[in-house]
Structure 1
Amino acid sequence: MTQFLFFTDYLLLPFYLLFVIFLMNFYFQRKHGNNSKLKKHFNLALYLKLFGSISISMIYQYYYRGAFDGIHYFEGAKMLTSYWFNYPDQFFTVLFQDLKTFNLTNKAGLSGSSVHIFANESFMVSKVAAIFNLVSFNSFLPCAIFFCITAFIGLWNFFIFMIQEFQIPIKTAAYCSLYIPSVLVWGSGIFKDTITFTALLWLFICGYYVFIKKKNIIKNAIGIGICIIIIYFIKLYIIAAFTPFFIIFVINSNKNQIKNDLVRILSTPFILMFGAASMVLFLQNADELFGRYSVDQVLETASQTAYYIKENNAGSAYNLEVDFSSPTGILIAIPQAVNITLFRPYPWEYLNPFILFASIESMYFLYYTIYLFYKIGFFKTFGVIYKSPIAQFGLLFSLTFAFMVGISSANFGSLVRYKIPIMPFYLLFLAVLYKEKIFKGIKPKRRKLIA
């Protein structure tokens, strides 16, 4: 068993918890004052997030016996922290270096391979962890807590964003963002997913305020740049799935500013054509832009991963028969891959307690999807989607990302972690439908009370 949690972690843990809880309450007070409706969600979500961060660290230590990529990220962080203490002038230099350059030019003769850091994606996570480790003193749990609260701030702002910009009722918004079980666990520890998920939320928020609301443009443009850089160096395929549909979302959202009714109506097919063309162009150039995260490479990786797991009978594998050499075969696989990502594992498929929890979560996704389509009406639902740019974005981005994750994971254990970027966006799509259902026929004053 590889040991990464020690006595010092548990000794320091209570002090760090008290510190971050105090810090977060100060943050809430500055941002929201004494808003009691928000306060109860803030406290509960914060405690659940901290519990998720600590729990997943302990599960990997004692259940999986230290088989955890986060160990290598943290060992890389300790190496960088030590290097920065010895060479303070190298702090910003290292932050903007790739792994190969660091290995060749650092003043201490260090190498990422000595701590099992072999790729730039892993090196980026180690750099983020190293910043937190400056005040964690080489203790894993305190460092994980800083990952956790950074992610929590992003998630909390997305929750407020849903309420303010799309008039989602507070309780609904909370369940669609703050209380998603997979996000509370897999988006709270020392994972790549914690960083990229948080960056994606901020990218959407900042992009919305720059291109749609035209608000605090400089500050939000800087936020866009930072988020793109972070995602670029860790999981580029997220941008590949996000960008085309965000373009459509921006164009659709600005369409209402066209005063001439005829021009506005006729603009719809051009918007769809532009969005489709931009997506095709973007994906056709993915090889050059994203290297191994291109669509072709995703398909190749999916084929190799599926073969490896099938041959080795490893993990909680699922069977997805895909002809990766044929465009038709890939198209046929889209519904299966989307279903696997959004609605599986089914309860009878679980192989361990953790997959069972994921199956319960998936069943809620499936239930509310069917429920809302049924209650609103199948064709009326598409009418709501047609009229709502945010519903279109949430659905299209979720379906595309679900396809990419579904064909490339081949294993429920990996799937529950890789799919967290789409969860708040798919639930936002459902929340828009839910808002349509509960607000239908309700007077404006009553709507305010519900919200």
Structure 2
Amino acid sequence: MQFKDFLIGPLFLIIILSIAWMIRRNVTQKEDRKYFFPALLLRLFGALGLGLLYDFYYGGGDTFTFHRHGSRIIWSSLFDDPVIWWQLMTQPGEYLPKSFEYARNIWVFRDSASYFVVRAAALFDTFTFGSYVGTAFCFAFIAFLSHWMMYRAFSRLFPAIRRYIAYAVLFIPSIVFWGSGILKDTITLAALCWLVYFFIEFFIQKRRSLWLILLAILSAYTLFYVKIYIFLIAVPCLLLWWTSRNIGKIKDPLIKALAMPFIGSVLLVGSYYAMIIVGEQNKKYKLENIAETVQVQAYDIAFWTGRGAGSTYDLGELDGTWESMFRLAPQAINVALFRPYPWEVRNPLMVLSMIESLGMMLFTLYIFTRTGIKEMIINLKRPEVLFCLAFSFGFAFATGISTFNFGTLSRYRIPLLPFYVLGLLIIWYYQEVRKFDKKLAFMKY
């Protein structure tokens, strides 16, 4: 960090808090206003803490690759020649004579997904004068708004458990920390939250507007461009939510029984052809290449790029085939949700991850014992539960099988955490409603 961060950082802290104060009335209600500023402040300090961790503990890392060796170079070009700045912002990955001297110093210039983050940071650098802290605060604010709006969307669906939804969406420690700074994870998780917010508002609440459509397009594009696997998991799960919700409205049991396998087949075929289209855009995600891509990434993170992020873990032999991936699926889901265990802790940072994972396991056991197997199966058919858990387990499998490093996994898994907790909370909510209805019926009898 530089001296100007100590000047511009506090200035942007004041600016962001002032903007938040002005918009609070429009994005809060009396019942949830008390969560607004605590959640925002946690995000801002999470972004600052992330920068300090990478600077003083790791001595560098992704966040400084994106800023110090990325967006700050673009920002400096603005003062030399605005044409160069424009070229760097609009023609990613293409070396041009005029901008070459700048582009060759940007470490991730030829990596389109990483350069997306660099360009996003460069936009904020224009206003923060290239300050890391100022730009990190901007990232945190945008991320906070996305989570806040998704929290509001879910709380309107389930107002009786508004407080618990706030904990799930706004206050999970890993999300506050890894989802606030200048990282891919901040951008993609924010895009995912905006996409889910759009879905609830547009298809469930029936609030149709052009800005919601534009928001959905921008969010989907961001996911597709930066972390395509999130897009590939999220979109089918949202379609599953939509179809299960509409099937539930069918009154005729025969038509409902016929509609379920038909729509399921359409979803499977649609997902298959979507994968083919994606594979044409990115060879790593061709159906025949995915298993090998997962193997290469898992061992690369475990033993090379992520070797300093924390201890490695082993699920068994991953040989680059689909069969080996699906054989290890239970272990992959388990590691993403509930590990590291206490005896697997190897450094101070893993202690925090272990505590969170242990809390997730205890919460899961509590909900399971509270509802029972029968009620759990009944509530799994709910469209909201179906989406949350389908996305959570699908994402847990994708990250657990392709990471093989606890330190990296603690960052990569954050998109699944709010939806997994939400899924369990909604199951618990419907269980309490059914108990109340039974009690009321008994009293009437």
Task: Indicate the residue corresponding to 1:378 in structure 2.
Answer: 373
Give the alignment partner of residue 44 of structure 1, picking from 18, 30, 38. Answer: 38
2:87 and 2:99 in contact (8 A); partners too: no
Distance 1:95 1:74 in 2: 14
CA distance in 1, matches of 2:264, 2:432: 29
Match of 2:208 in 1: 216
C-alpha separation between the residues in 2 aligned to 1:402 and 1:310? Answer: 17
* Residue 12 of structure 1, aligned match among 5, 8, 29: 8
Inter-partner Cα distance in structure 2 for 1:233 and 1:325: 25
My pick for the range that moved more, 38-47 or 293-302, is 293-302
Match of 2:49 among 33, 47, 55: 55
Structure-2 separation of matches of 1:423 and 1:298: 24
Say which of 346, 360, 369 aligns to 1:365: 360
CA distance in 2, matches of 1:186, 1:244: 25
Structure 1 stretches of 5 or more lacking a match? 447-451
Q: Does 2:170 match 1:178?
A: yes
Which runs of 5 or more structure 2 residues have no equivalent in the other structure?
441-445
How far residue 215 of structure 1 moved from its aligned partner, in angstroms, is 2.3
Deviation at 1:165, TM superposition (A): 2.5
How far apart, in 1, do the equivalents of 2:357 and 2:289 lie?
28
2:3 partner amino acid: F
TM-score scaled to structure 2, two decimals?
Answer: 0.90
In the alignment, the residues of structure 1 paired with residue 16 and residue 160 of structure 2 have an alpha-carbon distance, to the nearest angstrom, of 29
Aligned residue type for 2:49: S
Q: Which of 207, 210, 226 is residue 234 of structure 1 equivalent to?
A: 226
Quote the Cα distance in structure 2 between the aligned partners of 1:70 and 1:281: 35
Cα separation, partners in 2 of 1:168 and 1:81, compared to 1, 3 Å: farther
1:284 to partner: Cα distance: 4.7
Contact preservation (8 Å) 2:75, 2:125: yes
Give the equivalent residue in structure 2 for 1:340. 335
| CA–CA separation in structure 1 for the residues paired with 2:80 and 2:204 | 46
Counterpart in the other structure of 1:31: 27
Map of 1:9-408 to 2, 5 A cutoff?
9-32=5-28, 35=30, 37-65=31-59, 67-75=60-68, 76-88=70-82, 95-100=89-94, 103-104=95-96, 107-117=98-108, 118-167=110-159, 169-294=161-286, 296-308=288-300, 315-386=310-381, 388-408=382-402
- Mapped to 1, the partners of 2:303 and 2:356 lie a distance apart of 29
Q: 1:294 to 1:159 in 2, by over 3 A?
A: farther
Question: More deviation in 165-174 or 238-247?
Answer: 165-174
Runs of 4+ in 1 over 6 A off after TM superposition: 89-93
Distance 1:179 1:306 in 2: 29
Please give the secondary structure, in 1, of the residue aligned with 2:58.
coil
Output the amino acid matched with 1:43: F
Residues in 1 aligned to 2:287 and 2:349: alpha-carbon distance in whole angstroms? 30
Q: How many residues align?
A: 434
1:217-246 Cα offsets, whole Å, 9 max, x none, are 422221111112212221111111112222
Shift of 1:410: 0.8
**In angstroms, what is the RMSD of aligned CA positions?**
2.5
Contact 1:252 1:271 in 2 (8 A): no
SS at match of 1:177: helix
Question: Partner of 1:449 in structure 2?
Answer: none
Are the counterparts in 2 of residues 244 and 282 from structure 1 also a CA contact under 8 Å?
A: no
The CA distance in 2 between the partners of 1:326 and 1:147, in whole Å, is 38
Mapped to 1, the partners of 2:250 and 2:84 lie a distance apart of: 52
**Deviation for aligned residue 1:90:** 7.1
User: Which residue pairs with 2:443 in the alignment?
Assistant: none
- 1:243-292 per-residue CA deviation (whole Å, 9 max, x = no partner) reads 22222211112224435443234322323333333333433554214432
Q: Is the 8 A contact 1:45 1:179 kept in 2?
A: yes
Q: Partners in 2 of 1:159 and 1:308 — Cα distance? A: 36
C-alpha deviation, 1:15, in angstroms: 2.2
Q: Indicate yes or no: 2:395 matched with 1:429.
A: no
Give the partner amino acid of 1:201.
C
CA 22–307 in structure 1, closer or farther in 2 if over 3 Å, else same = closer
Deviates more, 1:320-329 or 1:290-299: 290-299
Q: TM-score, normalised by structure 1?
A: 0.89
Identity percentage over the alignment?
29
Contact 2:88 2:99 in 1 (8 A): no
**Paired letter, 2:96:** L
Aligned residues of 2:54 and 2:61 also touching (Cα < 8 A): yes
Quick one: distance in 1 between partners of 2:288 and 2:353? 29
Cα distance change on mapping 1:417 and 1:309 into 2, 3 Å: closer
8 A Cα contact 1:232 1:239, kept in partner: yes
Q: What letter matches 2:26 in structure 1?
A: R
Q: Does 1:411 align with 2:405?
A: yes
1: CA distance, partners of 2:159 / 2:257: 25
* SS of residue paired to 2:129: coil
Change (3 A) 1:165 1:238: same
| The one of 418, 436, 440 aligned to 1:442 | 436
Given residue 77 of structure 1, which amino acid in structure 2 is its aligned partner? S
Distance 1:97 1:215, change over 3 A: farther
What's the CA shift for 1:320?
A: 1.5
Which residue identity does 2:215 align to in structure 1?
Answer: G
